Amino acid sequence: MRIYPSDDGSAAFVRLERGDDLLERLNAAAAELGMEAATLQIVGAVERLRVAYYRQDTKEYEIHEHDAPHEISGGVGNVSLKDGKPFVHIHVTGSGADGKAVAGHLVDGTRVFLIEAYLRRLAGPPPVRELEEDLGLAVWQ
C-alpha cells in the first residue's frame, strides 16, 4: 500500500497493491491514517469482485461473486467507528469485459488489480455504528 497524505493530514490518496483484499486494505488504510470519520472514493480494477445485496425482508446479505476482472467505475463510501475501530462502508459499481455493470455493498474477497482511493477526513466526533434491531444492521447512532 502506498499512502500520499495531504500536508495538513486532512486527506490522502492511497494506492493498493495487486492481490490485496480490497475491503481489508481500505480498512487498514483508514486505521493507518487515523481516520475515524471520513468520506471515501475509489477507482481502478479488480481481478475478482465480491459484492452483496441486503435483503430487507430476511435481514441477510445475498453475496454475488464475479470471478473475473472488472473495472471499478465508481466506489463511494465512508469511514466511521464500529467496535472501537475505523470501519469502511462502501458500495461499488464494476463492469466486466462484456460491458455489463454490477453493483453492491463491497464485502471481503474482492482481489485488487489496481485501486486508487481518496479519503477525506471529517472534523468533529466520529459517528459510531451499533446494531439497530429493526433494520438488522449496524448503523450510525
Structure confidence by residue, pLDDT tens digits, 6-26: 999 999 999 999 999 999 999
Distances from the Cα of 46 to the Cα of 5, 69, 133, angstroms:
24, 6, 34
pLDDT at 18: 98
CB-neighbour burial class of residue 103 (10 A; exposed 0-12, middle 13-18, buried 19+): middle
How many Å apart are CA 88 and CA 115, to the nearest integer?
15
Length of the chain: 141
Beta-strand relationship, 60-66 and 70-82: unpaired
pTM score over 0.85? yes
pLDDT tens digits for range 105-138: 999 999 999 999 999 999 999 999 999 999 999 9
Are 74 and 93 in contact by the 8 Å Cβ rule? The answer is yes
Query: If you classify domain 2-140 with CATH, what class do you get?
Result: alpha beta
Cβ(85)–Cβ(44) below 8 Å: no
| Cell numbers linked to 104 | 453492491
